[in-house]
Amino acid sequence: MKIAMIAAVAENHAIGINNKMPWYLPGDLRYFKAVTMGKPIIMGRKTFDSLRKPLPGRTNIVITRDKNWHHEGVKVVHSLEDAISLAEDVAMINGNEEIMVIGGEQIYRQALDKADRLYLTKVFRSFDGDAFFPEINESDWGITAREDQVSEDEQALEFSYQVLDRKSA
């Protein structure tokens, strides 16, 4: 079972500001939906707050330290280890080949060492942010797929869908 992380990351590593995405890229939202659909998704409580409701067609697993926190349609856990274990059980039942870690910063930082695959949408511009993707050691990862894009609106934002797989030791 693969542990995959998916994130859209600016040149300066920004991924969020004020608990929102720093940009509006509808193409990337469609890509995110296509990659995650049908799979268990793991997120921090703040990322869930930014979504406001569970994402349909996926088992939503939210990590929080608050033992009283709950939300309809969400499976609540209190550690990353429990989130991964639950996601693996769900994936096994569903026949998924990977579980998806969907953010945000705190969860990416804790999960990076465990990840086998990164789906990174690299946005080739810097943005103001208060949440950032962790530094990755480029030599640990090989690019399996890359698709360059330009947004179709007036911002003409250049970005690239990249799939990185951890090189075997």
At 60, the amino acid letter reads N
DSSP secondary structure letters along 107-135? HHHHHGGG-SEEEEEEESS----SEEPPP
Q: With binding defined as CB under 6 A, does residue 104 bind ligand NAP? A: yes
Q: Which residue has the tokens 């939503």?
A: 60
Helix residue ranges, H only, the chain: 26-36, 45-51, 80-94, 105-111
Which one, of 113, 32, 38, lies nearest residue 80 by Cα? 113
Structure tokens at 166: 């951890």
Single out the residue of 34, 52, 56, 65 in contact with ligand NAP (rule: CB under 6 A): 65
- Phi–psi pair at 12, nearest 5 degrees: -90, 15
Within 106-145, the residues that bind ligand NAP by CB under 6 A are: 106-107, 110, 131
Candidate segments 52-60, 73-81, 85-93, 151-159, binder of ligand NAP by CB under 6 A: 73-81
Single out the residue of 16, 101, 111, 141 in contact with ligand NAP (rule: CB under 6 A): 16
Smallest distance from ligand NAP to CB 114, Å: 12
Residue 90 or 107 with smaller CB distance to ligand NAP: 107
Q: With binding defined as CB under 6 A, does residue 30 bind ligand NAP? A: no
Residues that bind ligand NAP (CB under 6 A): 7-8, 15-16, 19-21, 43-47, 50, 63-66, 69, 78-80, 102-107, 110, 131
